[in-house]
Amino acid sequence: MPNMMDYLLWRGDTPIGRDVPFNDVDSLIAATLSYQTYPAEPVLVQDAAAHLPPPPAIEINFVKEGRALLSAAGMTERFSGLRIHRAIAHTDPDRDMQFAAITLDLPDGTHYIAFRGTDNTIVGWREDFNMAFESPVPAQTAAVAYLAQAAAALPGRLILGGHSKGGNLAIYAAAHADPEVQQRIIAVYSFDGPGLDDATMASDGYARIAPRIRSFVPQTSVVGMLLAYHPQYTVVRSDATGLLQHDTFTWQLMGAHFTQVPEVDASSQLVNQTVHTWLSRVSPEQRRRFVNTLFDLLEASGASTMKELLVDVPGRAAGILKALQKVDFDTALMIITLSGDFLSIGAQNILGHLRARREDAPITEGDTPT
């Protein structure tokens, strides 16, 4: 079935306008464009596509696909003339921060602010895990500031969007914006983005913006169901399995719409139930120690990106094992205990699911009820 790339081939010769207005698939494309690197000065999509920097030596598939998407978008009438500006990308290991965003000008004067999701850096993944015990994380603070500055400089309506952590940043920034700015926001898109902290979900700012949130998750969603996720969401069919469905290039389309399924599948429900139960039993301080120890060990490998962990595995493992020997007994015991608790909760949920399926199964001739 078709995906974003096929959509560009089908709809690329039609400009965004009254006849074919900006839609959910266009929003996903705009959000995905934020994963690429752009100059500080404004640039048209077609020019950015023509001057793509060379790819890094080690590149994850999603970013590689994103480069192809930008190249394709640059050759379409629908996206080629759109202006990208206010591009920012900042990674700060000292603050556990990875943040990037762009603003895309739509033909009707609306400005689309796209927040980048987690990149391939260990710092970016560490910041994601920090959301389990800290709010706001630095990227969320940066997103609120970016929106405020963009709104002050640009007239007209606003749309916010992002994939993965970018979706979380879009909703968080919208919920914490001034009421005057919120009135200008016509939509907020989250594409399999993790949820928010309880305080934000209970805030007046979130209540004001909630009706304009459009949340999409794949049928086997894990990331998009973490923390306190937006309760109304659309489930999209993917042609991948498991966590690979987080890659939105696997999301299926029917024309200008996502192919929908009624609900997330059983494996997604089990993972979500397990994670939420586990988090409810673990204190914020335990979460902090767990995450810090885990990522300290990963960084001890000498790798700066997740993919680099797979290069020279024996050498990386040696660095991790050396650092592991320095972990104090109490912390090691806590990690082992919490990991065991997580597996135990997961096993109980699986057994409960299997028992429920057995009880719901129809009784056929020859069966003896128990």
Number of domains the chain contains: 2
| 233 and 330 part of one domain | no
Tell me, yes or no, whether 57 and 85 share the same domain: yes
Say if residue 197 is in the same domain as residue 293.
no
Copy the structure tokens of residue 55.
């790819």
Q: Are strands 111-115 and 97-105 parallel, antiparallel or unpaired?
A: antiparallel
Per DSSP bridges, beta strands 253-254 and 257-258 are antiparallel
In a domain, 114, yes or no: yes
Residue 259 belongs to some domain of the structure: yes
Same domain, 195 and 335: no
- Rounded to whole angstroms, the Cα distance separating 13 from 16 reads 10
Give residue-wise pLDDT tens across range 83-130.
999 999 998 888 888 999 999 999 999 999 999 988 767 776 677 777
Identify the domain containing residue 222 by its residue range.
4-265
Return the SS3 of 56: coil
What's the CATH code of the domain at 236?
A: 3.40.50
Residues 289 and 249 placed together within one structural domain of the fold = no
Where the chain has pLDDT below 70, the residues are 56-60, 120, 124-125, 223-228, 276, 279, 305-311, 334-335, 338-370
| Average pLDDT in the chain | 85
Q: 230, 265, 300 — which closes off a domain?
A: 265
> Is position 365 within any domain?
no
User: Domain check: are 308 and 173 in the same one?
Assistant: no
Q: Are residues 27 and 111 in the same domain?
A: yes
Per-residue pLDDT, 329: 73
163 and 111 share one domain = yes
pLDDT 10s digits, 157-187: 999 999 999 999 999 999 999 999 999 999 9
> Is residue 275 a part of any domain in this protein?
no
- Same domain? For 241 and 300 the reply is no
Confidence (pLDDT) at 369: 39
